[in-house]
Amino acid sequence: MTNSRGHHMVLTTFMLPAGYHKDSWRMDGSRADELANFDFVADLTRMAEAAKLDAVFFGDIAHANTVMRGDIKMNGFYEPMTTLAALAAVTKNIGLIGTISTSFYEPYNVARLLAGLDHMSGGRAGWNIVTSSDGFQNFGLTEAPDGPTRYRRAAEFVEVVQKLWDSWEDDAVINDRESGWYVDTSKIHTIDHVGEYFRVQGPLPGPRSPQGRPVLVQAGSSAPGVELGTSVADGIYTAQPLLQPSIEFYADFKAKAAAKGRDPELIKIIPGILPILGETQAEADELAGELARNIHMENGRKQVGADLKLDLSSLDLDEAIPAGWFSEDPSRGSRYHIYRRKSVDQGMTLRELIVDLARSTGHQWMAGTPGAVADRMIEWFEARACDGFNLNAPFNPGGFALICDKLVPELAERGYFRHEYEGTTLRENLGLPYPSSKRESALA
């Protein structure tokens, strides 16, 4: 490894078969007619595995609001756990990270789902822990509980899931034909959890999974979100469009985790990036223009309005949203303030904002040659603005092919990414240790 940090980047991909760039499913060559079809997502995942990416990452939202506003990007066409289980059967090395909401499930189900995926994939499961800000109408409530309440439930939820994953000691299965006992029951323990939200006896009905505990990723940016991430997450997804704020976020996050006794090197900070690639800068710019020409502007207007909670129906597309329409309230969330800055400080017009949001939804995007995009990624990695990236393919399958065939090899060539998988589990490939069960640590 030739880079100064002594290890390579983490690279995962946000698996959105419709394409991360809004409306890119309208491009020539997209496989839009195959959305919700397994072969399509399996082809994309095999491409990611051939490029030796750490993991494919499936987001999830339990409602159809964005689809009804004309944006199918963050779609419900692929339910994460069922899709990942199917993908486990046709892949060998790549990590399989799925989103499950702590607001809409019970910990016992989630512990089983992820342990099951970990078993079926030989140790490649990961969980993106979200608390969901929408969709509560589908689960018996009229609106979302406030952030601190959702994260209180999430913290207890994760604690219960971890206790359940540890409820079988590593060597509880003895498979002893002589004695007639398949398991050593003295090594299987109830958890007897009684908390504010959950009462769970345990143990799980099956053995500890290959990774001991599947990898935990999280993306909270509010104070309670960061509190959960710094306490439990192995990986942090984050929208960081600018270098300096990302360096500050990285240092602050790792310091908070270290203050809790965690090894900051074992927590991977993974901002998103959307690369639009061309053989030359002119070719990349032309592609960016083609993607922008596919955007349905009126749907874009609705989407920006919904994201910012503003009525933009009367605004000319070539005007900027008036500064006075924005709130400075920090509780509006990090994405809101990214767009407030772009509009107010950088003077972007509504049309430019729609295009920018269509490209990145608040993440960094860059049009350039593979060499130039690799330069930018390396600059961030060396500056400790990140430990790697979540690659957002602007369009599929063509835009993802450019990432896998041109950008990732460039990073590998320059010593910033692997040529071969190091291990067979996601933990091994991320350089994370096998976690001893809580019971063992309590006894030690």
Ligand X SMILES: Cc1cc2nc3c(=O)[nH]c(=O)nc-3n(C[C@H](O)[C@H](O)[C@H](O)COP(=O)(O)O)c2cc1C
Binding mask 141-160 for ligand X (x = CB under 6 A): ------x-------------
Region of 39-47, 90-98, 213-221, 338-346 interacting with ligand X (CB under 6 A):
213-221
Sequence letter at residue 112: R
Rounded Cα gap, residues 95 and 12, in angstroms: 9
Judged by CB under 6 A, the chain residues 371 through 390 that form the site for ligand X are: 390
Judged by CB under 6 A, the chain residues 332 through 371 that form the site for ligand X are: 333
Residue 432 binds ligand X, judged by CB under 6 A: no
Tell me whether residue 14 or residue 381 sits nearer to ligand X (CB atom): 14
Residue 399 binds ligand X, judged by CB under 6 A: no
> Using N-to-C axis directions, what is the helix angle for 297-308 and 334-344, rounded to 10°?
120
Q: At 116, is the secondary structure helix, strand, or coil? A: helix
Region of 24-32, 53-61, 252-260, 314-322 interacting with ligand X (CB under 6 A):
53-61
CA distances from residue 233 to 155, 207, 290, 348 in whole angstroms, order as listed: 11, 23, 38, 35
Residue 219 binds ligand X, judged by CB under 6 A: yes
Rounded Cα gap, residues 119 and 276, in angstroms: 36
Whole-number minimum distance, CB 375 to ligand X, in Å? 23
Minimal CB distance to ligand X: which residue?
225
Tell me whether residue 225 or residue 397 sits nearer to ligand X (CB atom): 225
Residue 3 binds ligand X, judged by CB under 6 A: no
Q: Is the dihedral of CA 228, 230, 234, 239 positive or negative?
A: positive
**DSSP for 389-428, written as a single string:** EEEE-SSTTHHHHHIIIIIHHHHHHTTSS-SS-S-SSHHH
**DSSP for 28-97, written as a single string:** TT--GGGTT-HHHHHHHHHHHHHTT-SEEEE---SS-HHHHTT--SS-SSS-HHHHHHHHHTT-SS-EEE
Residue 221 binds ligand X, judged by CB under 6 A: yes
Residue 103 binds ligand X, judged by CB under 6 A: no
345 neighbors 285 (Cβ within 8 angstroms): no
Residue 214 binds ligand X, judged by CB under 6 A: no
Region of 40-48, 127-135, 180-188, 422-430 interacting with ligand X (CB under 6 A):
127-135
Residue 60 binds ligand X, judged by CB under 6 A: yes
Which of 3, 222, 294, 299 touches ligand X (CB under 6 A)? 222
Sequence letter at residue 60: D
Whole-number minimum distance, CB 151 to ligand X, in Å? 7
Strand segments, DSSP code E, in 180-229 are: 181-183, 193-194, 199-200, 215-218
Q: Could you tell me which of 220, 98, 100, 76 has the C-alpha nearest to residue 157?
A: 100
Tell me whether residue 27 or residue 217 sits nearer to ligand X (CB atom): 217
Tell me whether residue 144 or residue 372 sits nearer to ligand X (CB atom): 144
Judged by CB under 6 A, the chain residues 253 through 282 that form the site for ligand X are: 272
Region of 58-66, 158-166, 201-209, 336-344 interacting with ligand X (CB under 6 A):
58-66
* Positions that interact with ligand X (CB under 6 A): 59-61, 99, 130-132, 147, 219-222, 225, 237-239, 272, 333, 390
